[in-house]
Each structure stands twice: as C-alpha cells, then as structure tokens.
Amino acid sequence: MIYYILLGLLFILAFFFDYVYIKGNRKLFYLLCLLFFILLSGLRWKVGGDTYSYQFSFENDVPTLANIDKKYLFEYKWEPLFKLLMSFCKTISKNFFVFQLAHSLILNILLFRFFKKYTKNIFTSLLIYAFFSYLYFNTEILRESLAIAIFTLMYDYYNKKNWKIYYILGIIALGFHTSALITLLFPLFRNQKLNQKGIIALVAVFASFVILQTLLPINQVLALLGSSVADKYEFYSSVLMNINGMIYKAFLFIICPLLILKIRNRISFNNTNTFENILFIYFLLAILYVAISGFGRFQNYLVPMMTVYYADSLILILKHKKLKPYAFMLVPLVLIIPFYYKLTYYTTSTDKYYQGTTNFSRYYPYSTVIEKKEYDFREIIYRQGMSDAYQNSLNR
C-alpha cells in the first residue's frame, strides 16, 4: 500500500506543480519527497532480492574498519570502496539498516540534486523515477546504483569538458562497481551528433560488434579488463531474447525514443537541457542491448538523464499548444508503452519458485526494521532466480 500512496502523492504534485504550475512551496514538498524516499528504502527490512545477499554478507563476512585485512580488501567479491563503506557502517553499528540508510542517503540525495538541476519538472521526474527505477536502484543493484549516482556528478564535468575531474570521479565510481568502466569511454563520443553521420556511425559500430562477437566472443575481450567484468557480462547475457523480444525491445528502447526526439526537434522548445551530448551514447547502448543482452546493465548509467528527458517530453506534449490536439496519441508513446513494459515485469509470475507470487513479491508487502516481519517466499524467489540465471550462464 505504501508504494501506491507514494505514486499517488507524486502524481498530484506533478499535476499541480509541473503541469498546472501553481505557485507554492515547491522546495518544501521536494524536501519532504526526498525524506520519504530516503526513509522508505533506508528503513526497509529484507525488501528486494539482492538485499538478502548483501545483508547476509554484512552480518557474517564484513569486518569493522579496525579489523580489515588485505584479504578482505583485495580478494573479497566486491569493489574496494563499497567494501570500505560497508565496513564503515558496521563500525558504527552491526545493524544492517545503518548501511541501508547510508546507501539511501547517498543515492537519493545525488539523484534528487540531479533532477533539481536539470529540469523544472521535478515532480514528474520523481514520479517516473519512483515507478521505473526506485526499487531497482535502492533494493537490488546497491553497488551499481552508487556508481550511477556518482555519474550524475560526473555529467556536470562532462558538460564542461573538465576531463580531469570527470575521470577522478570516474575512478571513484569504478571503486563501487566495475560496470562504471563504460563511463570512462563516454567522452570519446561527446561530440558525435545524432545526425546522418551519427546514424551511419551507429550502424558501423553495431556491425563491428556483431563481427567481433563472431570472431572473438565479447566476454573474452572484456576479460582483458578483469575476470569479474567478463563474468558479470556472461551472467547478465544469460537472459536470452527470442526474435519477438528483440523486436519489442527495439521498439521500446530505440524507435519510441527516436520518435520523441523527432517531435521535440520539430517544435519550438526553449530548453537547453535536452542531453544532446549524450543521445548518441544512449542509442549506441540501446542498439547493442537489443543485439547483445549483456549490454543492458550499461544503460543504467543513463537512467537519470532519460528520466528527465521523458518527464520534460511528457509535460511538453501536454502543455504545448501545437501538440495538445495529438496528446491522446503521443502520451501513450512517451509514457504508457514504457509503463506497460515495467508493469509486465512486476506482474510476471514466479509460480515456479513459489506458488501465487510475481516479481513484485520481491518488494511487497513492505516491512520495516521496526516490525522486522519476514516473508519466506521473497528469499526463495531470489535464491531460485539467481540459481537459474547462473545455470543458464553455464549452459550457454
């Protein structure tokens, strides 16, 4: 129920402050939303799949700062800065919720800062973030989401072409998750526009990857960057897509965004925050994801930008007088199709692991550290799902 209340409140705030644009204390509601987002994830009790793994490791394997040894720092399964953060939190308290709260503070403060800086449609952005990414970022990909949060800082310097600070922050992000390696390549494409030459370049890169995958499997190339990078790619590539899945994802992640981009370019839109300098990178990753599922995780780094882009596009369509007559066709394109995609994920049955459950059962019912109510089906879904994914990666 608490998730529905959150989405309902954000919808009301988005309607009045972003669409109607009433005068009011936007800052107060913005700060209240930030507090709500932080506490909702920070005070949860065994909500989310990966949370189980992190909590078990925190309680059984993670040492305090005073007890850190070289084996833990250099050989344990996580990246070094994440391990230090874990140990710092355990030094404060052996209760896992202290880490959860610290993680939620860092992640949501940085994301809220990004939304506030890059859009006037703050509450619409928060609504989209809450529905599409909040549970995933706050309860599943805990290491990667911190790297993504740091990338929102990196983007400021990406815009300014201050590569020294950009790469310093990039190394810090890499200290939380190895997938941040991809952000170190982004400056190579900063000046590439999504024009005719850009589209030719996209096709060329796509063709090169297909040929390279035929001659030398991508996981062998990534192994040059470290075995953990190659292993993660292999694991996430274990989710195979049939041709229908590829067509659906191409429509969702390539065709729909291209149509939205074309709409925005055809009308007068006085807004410089359109992330033009990162659009080529988005479509490059999207194309690679459709072809090679292992690239899907790299798209997570662009989620904050795409959240703002979609929020601005939605408000633009609803408010712009040239587009209002066509809103009934364009709104589904901008929001309802992606909404349906996420809703399909949440409602996908997990009966094969536990009867009467869905993917959303990982997060619902919600439980707090105060009551500590546990649901056995949640851990079973997580453990069995991870086991299946691992077996699939071995059988490829």
Nearest to 63 by CA among 76, 51, 53: 76
Q: Give me the mean pLDDT over the 328-340 stretch.
A: 73
Over residues 70-112, the pLDDT tens digits come to 888 888 889 999 999 999 999 999 999 999 999 999 999 999 9
Task: Please tell me the distance from the alpha carbon of residue 124 to that of residue 120, in angstroms, as a whole number.
Answer: 9
Exposure string for 322-358, b = 16+ CB within 10 A, e = fewer: ebeeeeeebbebbbeebeebeeeeeeeebeebbeebb
With contact defined as beta carbons under 8 Å apart, do 261 and 298 qualify? no
Task: Please tell me the distance from the alpha carbon of residue 95 to that of residue 51, in angstroms, as a whole number.
Answer: 14
Task: Please tell me the distance from the alpha carbon of residue 355 to that of residue 382, in angstroms, as a whole number.
Answer: 14
- Of residues 32 and 193, more confidence is placed in 32
pLDDT at residue number 264: 78
The distance of Cα 198 from the centroid of its chain, to the nearest Å, equals 25
pLDDT at residue number 333: 65
Give the mean pLDDT of the chain: 85
The distance of Cα 244 from the centroid of its chain, to the nearest Å, equals 24
Least confident range from 18-32, 51-65, 77-91, 201-215: namely 201-215
Question: Which H or E run includes 35?
Answer: helix 26-42
pLDDT at residue number 245: 72
Q: Give me the mean pLDDT over the 48-69 stretch.
A: 93
In whole angstroms, how far apart are CA 291 and each of 7, 178, 298?
33, 22, 14
In whole angstroms, how far apart are CA 394 and each of 242, 340, 352?
19, 32, 20
With contact defined as beta carbons under 8 Å apart, do 249 and 292 qualify? no
Task: Please tell me the distance from the alpha carbon of residue 120 to that of residue 141, in angstroms, as a whole number.
Answer: 28
Half-sphere exposure (Cβ direction) of 25: Cα atoms closer than 13 Å: 5
Over residues 297-324, the pLDDT tens digits come to 899 999 999 999 989 988 887 877 766 6
- Of residues 189 and 386, more confidence is placed in 189
pLDDT at residue number 242: 62
